[in-house]
């Protein structure tokens, strides 16, 4: 049944005039008359008694009006529910690495809650490797991690780039000199989790170290890494974005090293075979939040992405 015909029926029942109904619906009197005639034929009853100046509902028309009003209202509610983001409900499962958690993630969650107050957010914080595994198994709707997900059913949106810097405790008194990679290798190296992008970069940089194989300590927890290095146990390569408090308190120092450390590229990944449009919308909110973070903090902390992965 055509919902527009029911809308015409409800409107005519209220206005009781074909001309006024046609004007209200931005159509012609002939179209209104045709729609009512079609409904009467479908129902097998007469809906209106036609007078010289106005129409009135028949007994059958009054009964039909109750159902028609209910159906028209249901359709309008459905349209509003689909078009109004405030009415989105359900659960969004977000995987995120700690480097994002310790930088712009709180702002992102705040925006998400403001835009979709009825959406429940489930957050899994883990390493990029583990998040990708969960994402591939369908356990997460969106992942915010370092680097894209290489999967035929994944869509990747670049968020920002985090410059990486070597840091050490102020207790080591090495912040004023320019260090070589060999100098760094004389200290215990504190690294992100094994097989992560930073860990692989450290292994490449120190592969030909003249002082032998460096002692690399792989730690999955960013908070633990920062605590160990702040207390003087070795040096680490981390994004300055996640250690602003420690730098301000001078428990950590940025080290001057004669070789640059490659930046980390932050990416949001969603599934292309998911019919729900919410994950991609959430990814775009993450992209906007990351861009604002980069613009507010500057190039030394975060940079806008150079290209789409």
Would you give the DSSP letter of residue 192? S
Specify the pLDDT at position 210: 66
pTM: 0.69
Residues of the chain with CATH 3.40.190.10: 87-160+264-297, 164-261
CB count, 10 Å around CB of 101? 18
Specify the pLDDT at position 289: 95
| Cα–Cα distance measured from residue 102 to residue 124, given in angstroms and rounded to the nearest whole number | 14
* The CATH fold of domain 87-160+264-297: D-Maltodextrin-Binding Protein; domain 2 (3.40.190)
| Cα–Cα distance measured from residue 47 to residue 101, given in angstroms and rounded to the nearest whole number | 63
Specify the pLDDT at position 175: 84
Specify the pLDDT at position 79: 67
Under CATH, which number does the domain 3-83 receive? 1.10.10.10
Alpha-carbon distances, residue 60 vs 41, 45, 68, 73, 181 (angstroms): 13, 7, 12, 20, 89
Render pLDDT for 164-192 as a digit per residue (tens, 0 to 9): 999 999 999 898 889 999 899 889 999 99
Specify the pLDDT at position 24: 84
CATH entry, 164-261, from 3.40.30.10, 3.40.190.10, 3.30.1330.20, 3.40.50.2000:
3.40.190.10
The C-alpha angle with vertex 144 and arms to 91 and 95, in degrees rounded to 5, equals: 45
* Contact residues for 242 (Cβ-Cβ < 8 A; gap 6+): 98, 99, 102, 103, 222, 226
Q: Contact, 120 vs 234, CB < 8 A?
A: no
Specify the pLDDT at position 152: 86
CB count, 10 Å around CB of 272? 10
The C-alpha angle with vertex 276 and arms to 274 and 281, in degrees rounded to 5, equals: 105
Specify the pLDDT at position 74: 87
The residues pairing with 169 across neighbouring beta strands, listed in sequence order, are 252
Residues of the chain with CATH 1.10.10.10: 3-83
Positions in the chain short of pLDDT 50: 308-309
């Amino acid at each position: 049944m055509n919902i527009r015909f029911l809308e015409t029926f409800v409107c005519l029942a209220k206005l009781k005039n074909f001309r006024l109904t046609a004007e209200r619906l931005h159509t012609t009197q002939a179209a209104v008359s045709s729609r009512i005639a079609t409904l009467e034929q479908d129902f097998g009853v007469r809906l209106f008694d036609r007078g010289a100046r106005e129409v009135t509902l028949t007994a059958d028309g009054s009964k039909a009006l109750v159902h028609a009003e209910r159906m028209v209202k249901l359709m309008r509610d459905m349209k509003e529910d689909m078009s109004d983001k405030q009415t989105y409900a359900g659960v969004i499962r977000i995987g995120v690495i700690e480097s994002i958690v310790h930088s712009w993630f709180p702002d992102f969650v705040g925006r998400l809650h403001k835009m979709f107050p009825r959406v429940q957010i489930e957050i899994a914080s883990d390493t990029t490797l583990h998040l990708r595994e969960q994402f591939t198994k369908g356990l997460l709707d969106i992942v915010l991690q370092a680097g894209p997900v290489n999967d035929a059913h994944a869509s990747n949106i670049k968020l920002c780039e985090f410059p990486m810097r070597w840091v050490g405790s102020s207790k080591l008194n090495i912040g004023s000199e320019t260090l070589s990679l060999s100098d760094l290798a004389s200290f215990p190296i504190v690294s992100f989790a094994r097989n992560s992008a930073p860990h692989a970069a450290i292994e490449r940089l120190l592969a030909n170290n003249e002082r032998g194989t460096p002692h690399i300590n792989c730690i999955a927890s960013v908070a633990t890494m920062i605590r160990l290095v702040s207390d003087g146990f070795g040096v680490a390569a981390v994004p300055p974005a996640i250690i602003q408090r420690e730098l301000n308190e001078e428990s950590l120092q940025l080290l001057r090293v004669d070789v640059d450390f490659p930046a980390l590229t932050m990416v949001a990944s969603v599934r292309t075979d998911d019919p729900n449009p919410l994950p991609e919308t959430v990814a775009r909110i993450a992209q906007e939040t990351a861009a604002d973070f980069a613009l507010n903090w500057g190039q030394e902390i975060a940079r806008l992405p150079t290209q789409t992965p």
